[in-house]
């Protein structure tokens, strides 16, 4: 398995873990809500129920966002390679490795620091379409493309 495949698998695991965690939290909140309906404490009961509903809506929103990220990640073919930077490219720069995918932050994979960034991010927009040897500059920092997988 090559480095790009390992990076893909790692970040897919991260997003799958997040989806599972949010689904568990939502299930717990639903259970709390059904337990809350059995209580008859008047105003306290109504307030607690309203708070649970707000929390459920918040978690549902986070879950929806995580599912959208998962869907975008699953569209990437980790075995594809290109001469220019496209979605799914692993980019070696003078400042380290960048993986053009979705914004998931930084990870250590095989003692290599990799940042997963979105094509819609400011740096992602500057990098898209560039070739080996070209330079993307953002905030007075230059990223020299040393290799593309």
Same domain? For 11 and 52 the reply is yes
In 10 A of CB 31, how many CB atoms? 10
Same domain? For 59 and 112 the reply is no
Find the domain containing 23 and state its range.
3-74
Position 81 in a domain = no
Same domain? For 13 and 43 the reply is yes
Same domain? For 70 and 94 the reply is no
Q: What is the per-residue pLDDT across 89-148, written as a single tens digit (0 to 9) for each?
A: 999 999 999 999 999 999 999 999 999 999 999 999 999 999 999 999 999 999 999 999
Same domain? For 32 and 95 the reply is no
Same domain? For 104 and 139 the reply is yes
User: How many whole angstroms separate alpha carbon 30 and alpha carbon 35?
Assistant: 9
Position 68 in a domain = yes
Q: Whole-prediction pTM value?
A: 0.86
Same domain? For 7 and 60 the reply is yes
Same domain? For 68 and 101 the reply is no
Single residue among 34, 50, 74 that ends a domain in this structure: 74
Q: What is the per-residue pLDDT across 5-44, written as a single tens digit (0 to 9) for each?
A: 999 999 999 999 999 999 999 998 888 777 655 555 566 6
Same domain? For 24 and 61 the reply is yes
Position 10 in a domain = yes
Q: What is the per-residue pLDDT across 70-92, written as a single tens digit (0 to 9) for each?
A: 999 999 999 998 899 999 999 99
| pLDDT category of residue 52 using cuts at 50, 70 and 90 | confident
Q: Dihedral (C-alpha) 76, 80, 3, 132: value to the nearest 10 degrees?
A: -110
Number of domains in the chain: 2
Task: List strands edge to edge, sheet with 112-117.
Answer: 105-109, 112-117, 96-100, 90-93, 141-148, 135-138
DSSP annotation of 76 reads: -
């Amino acid at each position: 398995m090559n480095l790009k495949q390992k990076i893909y698998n790692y970040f897919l695991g991260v997003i799958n873990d997040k989806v599972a965690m949010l689904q568990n939290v939502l299930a717990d909140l639903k259970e709390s809500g059904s337990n809350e309906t059995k209580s008859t404490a008047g105003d306290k009961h109504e307030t607690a129920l309203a708070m649970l509903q707000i929390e459920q809506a918040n978690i549902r929103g986070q879950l929806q966002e995580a599912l959208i990220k998962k869907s975008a990640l699953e569209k990437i073919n980790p075995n594809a390679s290109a001469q220019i930077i496209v979605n799914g490219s692993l980019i070696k720069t003078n400042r380290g490795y960048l993986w053009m995918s979705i914004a998931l932050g930084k990870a250590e994979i095989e003692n290599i620091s990799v940042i997963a960034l979105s094509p819609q991010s400011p740096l992602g927009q500057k990098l898209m379409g560039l070739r080996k040897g070209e330079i993307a500059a953002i905030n007075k920092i230059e990223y020299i493309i040393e290799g593309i997988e």
